[in-house]
Amino acid sequence: MKKLIQYTLIIWFLNTFLLFCQSDSTNRYEYTNSLLDEVILEGELQTKYSRKDYVLLKRRVIKVYPYIDSIKHIIALADTDLYDLSKKRHIRRYTRKLQKKIMNQFRADVMSLSRKEGVVLSKLVYREFNMDVYQIITNYRGGFNAFWWQQLSKLYDGDLKSTFDVNENDEDMLIELILQEHILK
């Protein structure tokens, strides 16, 4: 008798749950296929760089970009002067003197650059001349000097063979964006 009461209570308890559950009838709603208008979401540029990183990169680009004009002027001057020289000995002598002159003129400025500013300068040189710094040194001073400067730059986390590719590198894309917005207006 006691078990009969227990079973009755259990069945009654489960039936009350069945009374309050939702019905599965789908005939209350009509389902139709409808197309929604296209929604275009516009927002800020999404990269792995934070706002702080962007501001630091902007400061570096703005600080380093004036050196590009100087490099452009020096290379143009060197090319015109080297065009007039015919002997290899004269060319070597001229490039050595030019290197000493450049080192004396820009030593303090270049020494004050941080490592990341040097990397940004190397990328901007590639962007401007479509050849990396290593190739420029090789053209004017030879392969051994280029190798020596490359090894020195590697000590300070730099790379003279760094390239500038907006499609492949997020930092290059941000540099290009900074140049378009703030320098090349």
Closest CA to 113 of 50, 65, 51, 174: 65
Place of tokens 């792995």: 48
User: Using CA atoms, how far apart are residues 107 and 151, in angstroms rounded to an integer?
Assistant: 19
Span 86-98, pLDDT tens digits: 899 999 999 999 9
Span 136-172, pLDDT tens digits: 999 999 999 999 999 998 988 889 999 999 998 889 9
Span 33-45, pLDDT tens digits: 677 777 777 666 5
User: Using CA atoms, how far apart are residues 162 and 119, in angstroms rounded to an integer?
Assistant: 8
Instruction: Identify the residue with better confidence: 72 or 50.
Output: 72
For the chain, what percentages of helix, strand and coil (3-state, to nearest 5) are there? 70, 0, 30
